[in-house]
């Protein structure tokens, strides 16, 4: 693979604009090469017209006077080799901005060389300034974490009471390590350090980022621990334990009911929470340092490569001088990141891994996820089986003449809604696998946006594997339960086959909640946690993943209605005779409406919480969008129950208003499109898809699919060749398709927002806050 492509693939996606623009510099070199090739061809044609005599005469003169040149060859060679002169623009800061002076400006075609070095200086100064700014940020963050570690050490001593008779005094104990951990602490190895791991530097508040390892080791080996003074616990009088955001619905409710803040306590529960927060902060800091080191290495390599290309194209020797300047610059000479990485490793292993180097490094440097051939093989097997089962289903339908069977209507009314649930899930999973493929293709950092733990996100092959496996199970169940007519002797259907859909959904739920580490446990539990947070809105703080999940639930309204039908069919109906009285029940009709409104209501509550917390008026307007949708759904359901022109007009008008409002919000707010004065008219300034027509096609498809569900409002419930349940299933699948398109552009817009702010890391709340009594 060429370096240009490898350079792009190795970039931190959110920092893409801060990297050297390798392709633009390469394009200038191509123009220089093209101009040089044209001059060489012109010179070649001119040389062929020169007579041999004149050429021989010039050679003779050259030999005659060549001896004169030898006297000054050494002195002139150095001047001839000098192509560029580099100087720092800022006199006080030798590592500031740099400017290159091209010394061959009088040469023919030097305009492109001047353009190249002007662009090269711009790119280098941009890279150098960004690196310096980011290093300053991580250094400041490391200083804050070092203070947090000191507070944590004092907190540990306060809670564990490590053998000191009077912790609040400066007296020392003759044997500070007589205390043993409780059984509860032994189970939670991270809750506090074992006694043999609490070194002298920890008790005396040594800064973990400024200490020298060798010095500490020598001190520990030479100095006795007797007569040792503990960390001054008076610092805890000026430290407040930050109240973390509510993480459970119960804690949120308590916070609303009791406004008074509880007194600060020092207990093991608070200690574990502080350790967990600090451990996460150290891991995130180490990740920043790794990415900064990678950023420095890639850009330095890019500058080396581009200068070598320049020397090759221009036949000049300018790379040596420029690389010397790059090596002496801040990004080329600073080793702050490497030294800080070593200190973070040392501090993390000592304070959060009980001195276990392997355990600490496995947390700081999680292993990269590898593509497995087994996944691809099973994907092919399940996909082939699904296609074969679909073909077998079609053949059986035609062979048994099922389309014209007397039991067709009973089957479509009772059995088809049970199996359509799995079809909706499979369809949504397939769309998500397509999304993940496209997000990877266009370098959208969806694992960071969704908050996946590093290395646990599912790739498109794995998602498609799960969807194909579920499709195979569903199709096998359909084939086993394809009887149209009941037994004439018993006047009932087989109980075993009629219970197949219920058994399949129980199996699916068992796999989803399975506590064992099988079938992507981390992803399953991540999904469960997101759904739970979404359902419990607004009792949890709303993150992007929660709002995104709620939007997916609004697309799966028909799936929730299928679940309601499961309850009615198997508890109220007579499933052995394939009959139900669900539609005749007022309770069922009421819940039929409530189930449809719940996803939009959840989204409305999320908007309300974000409006109160952030004060963002946009969330209020977003909430109005879901209110209009709730009104439209309620009036549409009422028009089905109460026949009348007034109800029909209200349903149609409210549905049109809600559809137009939702469509506008999709384009302008969620996708960031329809910007009139952008560089890409009616789109946005930055686009990841190179073909602009894709965006206009997506908008047109979104409008068409938005209005597809209005067929129920307009009274189109039956097609000449389709049952009403089949028509409902088709419309639902079209809505899932629309949601899949929406998902791609929604994440593209979110990713570009992160790119504009260079936001590649999560902000971690620190557990301690230092305050002075005079403040």
Pick the range with the lowest mean pLDDT from 174-183, 283-292, 731-740.
174-183
User: For residues 655 and 270, which has the higher predicted lDDT (pLDDT)?
Assistant: 655
Q: Please, which residues have CB within 8 angstroms of residue 326's CB and are 6 or more apart in sequence?
A: 124, 300, 303, 304, 332
> In which element (H, E) is residue 241 found?
strand 239-241
pLDDT of residue 392: 96
Count other C-beta atoms under 10 Å from residue 126's C-beta: 17
Distance in angstroms (rounded) separating the CA atoms of residues 458 and 494: 40
- Taken in order 619, 621, 626, 627, the sign of the CA dihedral is positive
> What are 603-616's pLDDT values in tens digits?
999 999 999 988 88
Report the SS3 class of residue 578.
coil
Helix axes 319-328, 268-314, angle to 10 degrees: 160
570 alpha-carbon distance from chain centroid: 41
- As a whole number, mean pLDDT of residues 469-474 equals 97
pLDDT of residue 491: 80
- Taken in order 166, 167, 172, 173, the sign of the CA dihedral is positive
Q: Are 633 and 710 a contacting pair, CB within 8 Å?
A: no
| Average pLDDT taken over every residue of the chain | 82
Distance in angstroms (rounded) separating the CA atoms of residues 324 and 319: 8
Count other C-beta atoms under 10 Å from residue 2's C-beta: 6
Q: If we measure between CA atoms, which residue out of 431, 456, 466 comes closest to residue 552? A: 431
Distance in angstroms (rounded) separating the CA atoms of residues 52 and 55: 5
Distance in angstroms (rounded) separating the CA atoms of residues 611 and 620: 6
- As a whole number, mean pLDDT of residues 394-398 equals 93
Judged against a pLDDT cut of 80, whether residue 63 lies above it is answered with no
713 alpha-carbon distance from chain centroid: 38
Q: Please, which residues have CB within 8 angstroms of residue 508's CB and are 6 or more apart in sequence?
A: 422, 470
Judged against a pLDDT cut of 60, whether residue 64 lies above it is answered with no
Pick the range with the lowest mean pLDDT from 269-278, 429-438, 632-641, 766-775.
766-775
Residue 760: band (very low, low, confident or very high) from pLDDT cuts 50, 70, 90: confident
- As a whole number, mean pLDDT of residues 32-41 equals 81
Report the SS3 class of residue 532.
helix
Distance in angstroms (rounded) separating the CA atoms of residues 555 and 662: 13
> What are 195-235's pLDDT values in tens digits?
333 444 444 444 555 544 444 344 343 333 333 344 567 77
Q: Are 451 and 545 a contacting pair, CB within 8 Å?
A: yes
Q: If we measure between CA atoms, which residue out of 331, 345, 340, 341 comes closest to residue 298? A: 331
Q: Are 249 and 540 a contacting pair, CB within 8 Å?
A: yes
> What are 138-176's pLDDT values in tens digits?
999 999 999 899 888 888 888 876 544 344 433 333 333
- As a whole number, mean pLDDT of residues 463-488 equals 93
Judged against a pLDDT cut of 90, whether residue 768 lies above it is answered with no
Residue 239 is classified by DSSP as E
Residue 72: band (very low, low, confident or very high) from pLDDT cuts 50, 70, 90: very low
> What are 314-364's pLDDT values in tens digits?
888 888 989 999 999 999 999 999 999 999 999 999 989 988 999 999 989
Distance in angstroms (rounded) separating the CA atoms of residues 8 and 20: 10
Termini Cα distance of the chain: 59
> What are 512-527's pLDDT values in tens digits?
999 999 999 999 999 9
Q: How many helices (H) and strands (E) in the chain? A: 28, 4
Residue 270: band (very low, low, confident or very high) from pLDDT cuts 50, 70, 90: confident
Share of the chain above pLDDT 70, in %: 80
Q: Name the percent of the chain in helix, strand, coil, to the closest 5.
A: 70, 5, 30
Distance in angstroms (rounded) separating the CA atoms of residues 365 and 344: 12
pLDDT of residue 719: 64
Q: Are 415 and 479 a contacting pair, CB within 8 Å?
A: no
pLDDT of residue 215: 42
Pick the range with the lowest mean pLDDT from 265-269, 555-559, 690-694.
265-269
Distance in angstroms (rounded) separating the CA atoms of residues 307 and 498: 73
Task: Find residue 86's DSSP bridge partners.
Answer: 100
> What are 351-385's pLDDT values in tens digits?
899 889 999 999 898 877 777 889 999 999 999 99
Distance in angstroms (rounded) separating the CA atoms of residues 265 and 271: 10
Residue 181: band (very low, low, confident or very high) from pLDDT cuts 50, 70, 90: very low
Q: If we measure between CA atoms, which residue out of 255, 29, 27, 283 comes closest to residue 145? A: 283
pLDDT of residue 264: 64
pLDDT of residue 160: 76
Judged against a pLDDT cut of 80, whether residue 405 lies above it is answered with yes
pLDDT of residue 232: 65
Nearest 5°: the CA angle 711, 717, 721 is 110
Judged against a pLDDT cut of 50, whether residue 298 lies above it is answered with yes
Share of the chain above pLDDT 90, in %: 52
Judged against a pLDDT cut of 80, whether residue 386 lies above it is answered with yes
């Amino acid at each position: 693979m060429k370096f240009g492509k490898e350079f792009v693939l190795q970039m931190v996606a959110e920092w893409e604009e801060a990297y050297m623009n390798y392709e633009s510099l390469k394009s200038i070199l191509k123009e220089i090469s093209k101009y040089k090739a044209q001059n060489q061809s012109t010179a070649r044609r001119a040389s062929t017209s020169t007579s041999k005599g004149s050429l021989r005469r010039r050679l003779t003169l050259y030999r005659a006077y060549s001896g004169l040149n030898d006297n000054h060859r050494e002195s002139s060679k150095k001047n001839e080799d000098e192509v560029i002169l580099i100087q720092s623009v800022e006199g006080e800061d030798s590592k500031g901005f740099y400017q290159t002076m091209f010394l061959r400006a009088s040469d023919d075609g030097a305009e492109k060389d001047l353009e190249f070095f002007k662009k090269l200086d711009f790119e280098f100064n941009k890279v150098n300034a960004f690196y310096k700014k980011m290093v300053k940020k991580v250094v400041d963050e490391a200083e804050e974490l070092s203070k947090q570690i000191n507070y944590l050490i004092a907190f540990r001593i306060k809670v564990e009471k490590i053998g000191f008779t009077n912790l609040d005094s400066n007296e020392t104990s003759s044997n500070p390590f007589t205390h043993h951990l409780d059984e509860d602490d032994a189970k939670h190895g991270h809750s506090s350090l074992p006694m043999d791991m609490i070194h002298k530097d920890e008790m005396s508040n040594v800064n973990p980022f400024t200490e020298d390892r060798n010095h500490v080791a020598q001190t520990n080996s030479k100095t006795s621990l007797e007569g040792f003074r503990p960390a001054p616990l008076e610092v805890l009088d000026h430290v407040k334990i930050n109240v973390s955001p509510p993480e459970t619905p119960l804690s949120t409710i308590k916070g609303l009911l009791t406004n008074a803040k509880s007194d600060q306590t020092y207990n093991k529960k608070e200690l574990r929470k502080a350790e967990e927060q600090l451990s996460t902060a150290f891991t995130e800091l180490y990740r920043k340092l790794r990415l900064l080191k990678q950023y420095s290495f890639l850009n330095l390599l890019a500058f080396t490569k581009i200068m070598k290309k320049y020397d090759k194209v221009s036949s000049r020797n300018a790379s040596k001088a420029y690389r010397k300047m790059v090596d002496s610059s801040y990004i080329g000479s600073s080793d702050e990141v490497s030294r800080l990485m070593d200190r973070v490793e040392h501090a993390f292993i000592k304070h959060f891994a009980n001195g276990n180097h392997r355990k600490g490094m496995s947390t700081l440097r999680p292993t990269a996820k590898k593509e497995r051939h087994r996944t691809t093989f099973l994907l092919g097997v399940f996909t082939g089986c699904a296609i074969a089962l679909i073909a077998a289903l079609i053949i059986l339908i035609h062979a048994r003449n099922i389309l014209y069977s007397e039991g067709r209507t009973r089957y479509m009314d009772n059995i088809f809604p049970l199996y359509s649930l799995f079809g909706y899930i499979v369809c949504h999973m397939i769309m998500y696998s397509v999304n993940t493929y496209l997000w990877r293709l266009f370098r959208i950092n969806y694992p960071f946006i969704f908050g996946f733990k590093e290395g646990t996100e599912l790739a498109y092959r794995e998602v498609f594997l799960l969807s194909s496996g579920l499709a195979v199970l569903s199709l096998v169940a359909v084939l086993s339960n394809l009887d149209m007519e009941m037994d004439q002797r018993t006047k009932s259907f087989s109980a075993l086959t009629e219970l197949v859909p219920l058994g399949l959904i129980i199996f699916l739920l068992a796999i989803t909640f399975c506590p064992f580490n099988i079938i992507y446990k981390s992803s399953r539990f991540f999904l469960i946690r997101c759904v739970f947070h979404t359902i419990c809105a607004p009792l949890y703080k709303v993150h992007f993943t929660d709002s995104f999940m709620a939007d997916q639930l609004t697309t799966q309204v028909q799936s929730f209605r299928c679940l309601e039908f499961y309850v009615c069919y198997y508890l109220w109906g007579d499933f052995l005779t394939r009959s139900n009285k669900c539609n005749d029940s007022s309770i069922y009709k009421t819940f039929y409406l409530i189930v449809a409104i719940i996803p939009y209501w959840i989204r409305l509550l999320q908007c309300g919480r974000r409006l109160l917390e952030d004060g963002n008026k946009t969330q209020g307007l977003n909430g109005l969008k879901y209110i209009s949708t709730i009104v439209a759904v309620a009036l549409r359901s009422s028009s089905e129950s109460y026949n009348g022109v007034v109800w029909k007009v209200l349903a149609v008008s409210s549905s049109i208003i809600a559809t137009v409002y939702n469509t506008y919000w999709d384009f302008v707010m969620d996708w960031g499109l329809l910007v009139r004065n952008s560089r890409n008219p009616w789109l946005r300034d930055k686009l990841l898809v190179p073909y602009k027509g894709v965006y206009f096609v997506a908008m047109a498809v979104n409008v068409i699919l938005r209005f597809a569900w209005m067929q129920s409002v307009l009274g189109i419930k039956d097609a000449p060749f389709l049952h009403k349940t089949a028509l409902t299933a088709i419309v639902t699948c079209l809505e899932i398709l629309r949601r899949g398109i929406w998902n791609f552009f929604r994440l593209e817009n979110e990713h570009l927002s992160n790119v504009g702010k260079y936001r590649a890391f999560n902000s971690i709340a620190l557990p301690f806050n230092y305050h002075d009594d005079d403040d």
